[in-house]
Amino acid sequence: APAWRQLYSTEEKSDLERRPPVVTILGHVDHGKTSLLDKIRQTNVQEGEAGGITQHIGAYQVEHDNRVVTFLDTPGHEAFTAMRSRGAAGADIAVLVVAADDGVMPTTREALAHARAAGVPIVVALNKIDRNNANPEYVKQQLAEELDLRSDEWGGDTLVVPVSAKTGDGIEDLIEAILLVADDTEILANPNTKAAGTVLEGRMEQGRGPVATLLVQNGTLHTGDIVIAGTSHGRIKAMFDEKGKTVKEAKPSQPVSVMGLDDPPHAGDMFEVVKDIKVARSTTEMRQFEQDQAEIQPAVAFTLEDAFERFQAGETKELLLVIKVDVDGSLEPVVQSVEHIEVADFNVRVLHAGVGNISEDDVNLANASGAIIIGFNVHADTAAARTAESLGVDIRSYNIIYKLIESVELALKGLLEPEYADRTIGVAEVRALFRVPRVGNIAGSYVLDGTIRRNSKA
């Protein structure tokens, strides 16, 4: 299993236990993400609690055959990717909703790219099967041919579950499919340690002050714990589950809303429990300071030219690309040719490829995954260009295929000539000079700012 599903890799293996899977729901607009989340919640409310006031706190848990599943209830890949770009792991499993009367749409493709970029296993919910014009067989074929999501009935390894968020048909099967996938994936945590996890929501509430929903991902959270969440901190005064019931503790994969922080944290911030309130205060002050500094400086771009340096530094062995082309006919040739490029041990992986201008969504995907965007006969729309600039995402446009391939090849070899003027990536002060025969002069230097990389010019 990918290491990140055991989020806290410092834990000893023997301390790890299975935790409920955390599931996110993705898919094209109007295909029924929200309806599905509501229906799952309604049909799985525990007995005796029906009629209780449920609150949307960013996630909820359901029980099925004595097993628990956590659903994030902000649907859509935007939330999921925002979390990833802040370093948080969004979910363990993604449910891709595809309406059986509408089929694969552009956002279906995008959502899948986001889930695949995150390395999350995917379950398909074929929704709206109650509709007269639903054509599940056709959509299954589309999924297989266009998205390489082959249904298990056809010998593939994707569970494709027909459901109706309207009638409730298939909802139990969907939860069962999620649990089957969870069985195949080691979804682990150590429940017996200080809690850590991700902030799902933060807001000010009248009479309550700052309220945050925390998803515990490791350890157990208790009332009275001192928490640092992003740049906020405080001692937990009270905790509530999604039914508004007071709870004293929260285990891995459990969402709780908490009171007691000095400020509402941001969705996607990581949180952790610390022993000492003074440590909590000084840590958050430091973070606030760093954040203010970062706002003054523009984002450092990861450019195509940097790829080779990253390979050299051992940071990665893959160049990740998001590709946009003008017409359907160019998609295959462009993707195929770049995917075949391999130089030494380094290769290219296409996270997402589609037809149309470069959108803000493409930029967010590239940003969360450390990818570069390549446009073929297309350009970035205004919002995308602005976001790319502020996040430091590199966008390259080409209109001749061989030029595109050549650039990528040269980048992998470290031979790509920069398109731009020199860029200062770091500043150092020379403190001492050493003269070494036959080698030359060596400058003992002290880095004052930025990074000094091997192969950089000075």
Positions that interact with ligand GDP (CB under 6 A):
27, 29-35, 75, 127-128, 130-131, 164-166
- Taking the complex as a whole, the smallest distance from the CB of residue 56 to ligand GDP amounts, in Å, to 14
Of the two residues 102 and 201, which places its CB atom closer to ligand GDP in the complex?
Answer: 102
CB nearest ligand GDP: which residue?
A: 32
Of the two residues 28 and 324, which places its CB atom closer to ligand GDP in the complex?
Answer: 28
What pairing do the DSSP bridges indicate for beta strands 249-250 and 221-222?
antiparallel
Three-state secondary structure readout of the chain: CCHHHCCCCCCCHHHCEECCCEEEEEECCCCCHHHHHHHHHHHCCCCCCCCCCCCCCCEEEEEECCEEEEEECCCCHHHHHHHHHCCCCCCCEEEEEEECCCCCCHHHHHHHHHHHHCCCCEEEEEECCCCCCCCHHHHHHHHHHHHCCCEHHHCCCECEEECCCCCCCCHHHHHHHHHHHHHHCCCEECCCCECEEEEEEEEEECCCEEEEEEEEEECEEECCCEEEECCEEEEEEEEECCCCCECCEECCCCEEEEEEECCCCCCCCEEEEECCHHHHHHHHHHHHHHHHHHHHCCCCCECCCHHHHHHHCCCCCEEEEEEEECCHHHHHHHHHHHHCCEECCEEEEEEEEEECCECHHHHHHHHHHCCEEEEECCCECHHHHHHHHHHCECEEEECCHHHHHHHHHHHHHCCCCCCCCCCCCEEEEEEEEEEECCCEEEEEEEEEEECCCCCCCC
Of the two residues 162 and 354, which places its CB atom closer to ligand GDP in the complex?
Answer: 162
- Taking the complex as a whole, the smallest distance from the CB of residue 98 to ligand GDP amounts, in Å, to 10
The alpha carbons of the chain give a radius of gyration, in whole angstroms, of 24
* Residue matched to tokens 């891709």: 96
d(CA 438, CA 365): 49
- Taking the complex as a whole, the smallest distance from the CB of residue 103 to ligand GDP amounts, in Å, to 14
- Taking the complex as a whole, the smallest distance from the CB of residue 177 to ligand GDP amounts, in Å, to 17
Of the two residues 105 and 405, which places its CB atom closer to ligand GDP in the complex?
Answer: 105
- Taking the complex as a whole, the smallest distance from the CB of residue 136 to ligand GDP amounts, in Å, to 12
- Taking the complex as a whole, the smallest distance from the CB of residue 83 to ligand GDP amounts, in Å, to 18
Of the two residues 150 and 166, which places its CB atom closer to ligand GDP in the complex?
Answer: 166
Contact 357, 325 (CB under 8 A): no
Of the two residues 108 and 367, which places its CB atom closer to ligand GDP in the complex?
Answer: 108
- Taking the complex as a whole, the smallest distance from the CB of residue 44 to ligand GDP amounts, in Å, to 17
Of the two residues 5 and 77, which places its CB atom closer to ligand GDP in the complex?
Answer: 77
- Taking the complex as a whole, the smallest distance from the CB of residue 131 to ligand GDP amounts, in Å, to 5
Of the two residues 171 and 373, which places its CB atom closer to ligand GDP in the complex?
Answer: 171
- Taking the complex as a whole, the smallest distance from the CB of residue 163 to ligand GDP amounts, in Å, to 7
Of the two residues 25 and 273, which places its CB atom closer to ligand GDP in the complex?
Answer: 25
- Taking the complex as a whole, the smallest distance from the CB of residue 74 to ligand GDP amounts, in Å, to 11
d(CA 31, CA 112): 14
End-to-end Cα distance, the chain: 43
Of the two residues 75 and 264, which places its CB atom closer to ligand GDP in the complex?
Answer: 75
